[in-house]
Structure 1
Amino acid sequence: MLDLLLFGLSTFTAQVLTNLDNLAALLALTLVSGTKRSVTGFLLAQVIVIGTAFILAVGVDGVVPNWEGYLGVIPLGLGILTLIKRKRGAEAETNPNLGTGASIMMVTLLFISLSMDTFAVLAPLLADTAPTYRTAGGIGALLAAFSMATVGLLGSKAPFISSDVARRLERLVPYVMICAGLYILSNSWTDAI
């Protein structure tokens, strides 16, 4: 039971750390487009991304047995590429640019586009685990999404919550992706035994 809880906590953490750009966008959008529209769009996007990662993980499990661990190359590669871009100074700021009348669909699409790094970490992580752990991981990721939505709600009402904190923490994302990729790749050897 403790191992399921710890795996759920690890996906919770991965979900939060790869969604810090979404949190900054959510905090900004709550002030521009309204709290209800922004939070609803954020939650819809997170459910779509987590659900798609979960479906991919279940689908890969039966198609290519004992090879799903090699999906860890994806977050590892993306993390390394992000660090290289950051070293070159080519990283662009992700500032949402939606008007005040943006629909929930537009907000959802914005958050889905900002969530590709989350998908790249979550899908291989869930694919490389047993079904009970996969469920715990999905629950952990959903709890993280609802926690971040709560922060967005609080941020719209409290001026002390700043998107600058999220932008500073966003620097951890490539390292999280590299660690997740290395974990998934190293764990594939234990699955084969």
Structure 2
Amino acid sequence: MLDYGVFALSAFMAQILTNLDNLAALLALVLVTGPRRSVFGFLVAQFIVIGAAFLLALGVGDVIPHWAGYLGIVPLSLGLVGVVRQFRSAPSEAEPTVQAGGSTIVISMLFVSLSMDTFAVLGPLFADSAPGFRLAGLFGASAAAIGLAIVALLGSKVPFITGGLARKLERLVPYVMICAGLYILSNSWTDAI
């Protein structure tokens, strides 16, 4: 039982750490478009990404069960690219914007496009896990998405969250992806036994 809890916590932390940029965008959108539309669009997008990662895991497990662990190359590569980008250039990326009248579908699609790093971590993590662990990970990632939505609702009233703190924490994302990739790759050897 403890193993499932630890795996759920791992998926929870992966969801949180790969969505810090989404949290900053969500906080800005809450201020511009209002809390209902923004938070609902965010949650729809997160459940689409989590569901897609879960479905990928089910498909990969059936098609190439002994090779699923090698999907860890995806988050590892993306994490290494992210680290290289951090050291090569100053962060000058513009914040994504949505007009004040943006619909929930537009907001959801914005967050789906911003969540490819989450998909790149959760997909291989779920694919390289046993079915019971996948469900625990699904629960952990879903709880994290709901927690982020609650933080956005509360944090929209606190201005320091939208500033430098989110930017500093966002620098951890490539390292989380590298760790997830290494874990998935190293765990694939134990699955073969």
TM-score range, shorter chain: over 0.9
The alignment's C-alpha RMSD in Å is 1.2
Tell me the SS of whatever aligns to 1:4: helix
> What is the aligned partner in structure 2 of residue 118 from structure 1?
118
2: CA distance, partners of 1:179 / 1:78: 11
Q: 1:37-48, aligned counterparts within 5 Å?
A: 37-48=37-48
Please list every run of 5 or more consecutive structure 2 residues that lacks an aligned counterpart in the other structure.
Answer: none
Deviation of 1:91 after TM superposition, in Å, equals 5.0
Q: Deviations over 1:116-148 (max 9, x none)?
A: 000000000000000000000010000000000
| In the alignment, structure 1 residue 150 sits paired with structure 2 residue 158 | no
> What is the aligned partner in structure 1 of residue 104 from structure 2?
104
Tell me the SS of whatever aligns to 2:172: helix
Q: Is the 8 A contact 1:24 1:164 kept in 2?
A: no
Q: Normalised by the size of structure 2, how large is the TM-score? A: 0.96
Distance 1:185 1:87, change over 3 A: same
2: CA distance, partners of 1:143 / 1:132: 17
Q: Is the 8 A contact 2:41 2:105 kept in 1?
A: yes
1: CA distance, partners of 2:153 / 2:33: 13
Deviation of 1:86 after TM superposition, in Å, equals 1.7
Identity of aligned residues (%): 63
Q: Is the 8 A contact 1:80 1:178 kept in 2?
A: yes
Q: Deviations over 1:65-92 (max 9, x none)?
A: 2100000000000000111122220654
| In the alignment, structure 1 residue 24 sits paired with structure 2 residue 11 | no
Distance 1:190 1:94, change over 3 A: farther
Shift >6 Å, 4+ stretches:
none
Deviation of 1:36 after TM superposition, in Å, equals 0.6
Between 96-105 and 84-93, report the one with greater CA deviation.
84-93
Q: Normalised by the size of structure 1, how large is the TM-score? A: 0.96
